[in-house]
Amino acid sequence: MMQVKKDHYLDARLSDICISTSAAPTYLPAYHFMNQDDEGNVREFNLIDGGVAANNPALVAISQVTKQIFAENPDFFPTKPMDYGRFLVISIGTGSSKGEQKYNANMASKWGVLGWLLHGGSTPLVDVFTQASADMVDFHISVVFQALHSEENYVRIQDDTLTGTDASVDISTKENLDKLVKIGEHLLKKPVSRVNLETGLSQRRLKMVAQTRRP
């Protein structure tokens, strides 16, 4: 938003933004559009889903806040740019598949280009890159906040137990969408989980985060 105020050509229509950010490779086509600023300058955009670079954008958000603090933006509470202990980060995922060990080295060693792109109704190469990217961001932020003794300031809300069609990203039937809503509602009833720095896996906390209310 801050950059849009400075570079007006980035002020694109919401429809163009939504189509661009959903253009995931192998699922939807890349998207092209033109945008014009107040002075008549035209900018061309050729875009695909930003998930190829930041499937979990939490670290991008932290970086953007840090940049604004560096720039002494008055809209941000004055603090040191690297004082992450004063940040409050809530990262909401869209769900990920349970580690079912669908693939192994013996299987993958026989794959060619097509096998890596499509195998048994799934996309191994895309799955590996997107899930690894998201998990590494979650792990990195968890390490930083725990090192600063501020682990309560970072919460990752993610259901990593999805299987079958529940874990698919391209099934938009009413039946499947209704099921995803129920999964989300069920997730809200589960206890808080955090990354175990030894295993890299999420595990439920025995003690829930205390909630304080003002009188």
Look at residue 113 and give its three-state secondary structure.
Answer: helix
pLDDT category, 99, cuts 50, 70, 90?
A: low
pLDDT category, 208, cuts 50, 70, 90?
A: very low
Tell me if 18 is assigned to some domain.
Answer: yes
Read off the DSSP letter of residue 207: S
Range among 86-100, 101-115, 156-170, 171-185 with highest mean pLDDT value: 171-185
Tell me if 99 is assigned to some domain.
Answer: yes
pLDDT category, 199, cuts 50, 70, 90?
A: confident
Tell me if 66 is assigned to some domain.
Answer: no
Tell me if 65 is assigned to some domain.
Answer: no
pTM, 2 dp: 0.74
Tell me if 57 is assigned to some domain.
Answer: no
Domain containing residue 93? 89-204
Per-residue confidence (pLDDT) for residue 211, from 0 to 100? 44
Q: Is the pLDDT of residue 209 over 70?
A: no
Residues 31-41, buried b or exposed e (16+ Cβ, 10 A)?
bebebeeeeee
Number of domains in the chain: 2
Q: Is the pLDDT of residue 5 over 80?
A: no
Do 41 and 93 lie in one domain? The reply is no
Do 116 and 35 lie in one domain? The reply is no
Do 117 and 46 lie in one domain? The reply is no
Per-residue confidence (pLDDT) for residue 171, from 0 to 100? 87
Q: Convert 28-46 into a string of H (helix), E (strand) and C (coil).
A: CCCEEEEEECCCCCEEEEE
